[in-house]
A and B are shown apart, each in its own frame.
Chain A
Amino acid sequence: MAENPTPTPARPRDAAIGTGLGRVLLLVYGIFALSASARALVQISSHFSEAPLAYLLSGFAGLVYIAATVGLAIGGERGRILALVSCSIELLGVLVVGTLSIADAVAFPDDTVWSHYGSGYGYVPLVLPFIGLWWLWRNRPRP
């Protein structure tokens, strides 16, 4: 497909939506944003009282993935901060929830995307924040 010849408004250089590899990253993040939030929505709407903590956590994880996807996509100063914060929360979340779900199975009777370090999702949730942070580091602003 031909490049758009008309000059478009300047997009931040580090916006993931602007490069091929970034688009693949966004696709993976988007899949997780979708699956984590859809799962939480079903859990919260159908049987919330069974495991409120796990379901709220699912919902929170979904929101974090959405924020990370948006932040990585738009780039620039605001996008970087949004992505940096959400990827860090993601990393902390998968490590803390992963450890707790193994150590204290009673508190997490139903799975979230971060339980057992994301083993239910092929450990992708464990790898993804590192890739997101790597992306931010790779595209860090240089003087």
Chain B
Amino acid sequence: MNGPLSLATIVVALVLGVWYVIRCALNKAPSNTDLWSMLGLGLLVVVLVVVAIVGLFGPDRPADWTTFVGYLITTIAFAPVGVYLARLEPTRWGLLILAVAALTLPVLVLRLQQIAEVTSG
């Protein structure tokens, strides 16, 4: 796993999550900027996952391969699903959906790092 890239993803996700919670508290609906920022976070996650997949073919592949791939799929799906669900809910609760998705991503990235550290190599 790529350290700086993971850290960047986690920081961006946390900042966005807090931003969405504040906007929800202010009783706003998800704006286009909100949705696009989430997709931007999704793009960052895609880069992270691609780097992780390349790492799978390297010398120190994670010992728990199945779990790692499962987490990769979940992680990459999270931001797009969040945006999709938020578009279905154009009220303040759509922002809370985005917040939940954004705040879950750091957990997934941390778990990915944990699993990647236990290598079979």
Contacts and interface: CB of A to CB of B under 8 A. Distances in A.
B26 interface: no
Interface string B93-108: 1101100110010010
Contacts, number: 36
Contacts of B74: 34, 38
Given A31-B104, A42-B70, A122-B107, A24 B90 contact: no
Interface residues of B, number: 19
A46 B68 CA distance: 14
B120 to A, nearest CB: 14
Contact of A1 (B67, B70, B87, B101): B87
Report the contact-size class of chain A (Cβ under 8 Å from the partner).
10 to 19
Interface in A18-70: 19-21, 23-24, 27-28, 31, 34, 38, 42, 46
Task: Determine chain A's interface SS by DSSP, over half rule.
Answer: helix
A27 B100 contact: yes
Interface of B: 66-67, 70, 74, 85, 87-94, 96-97, 100-101, 104, 107
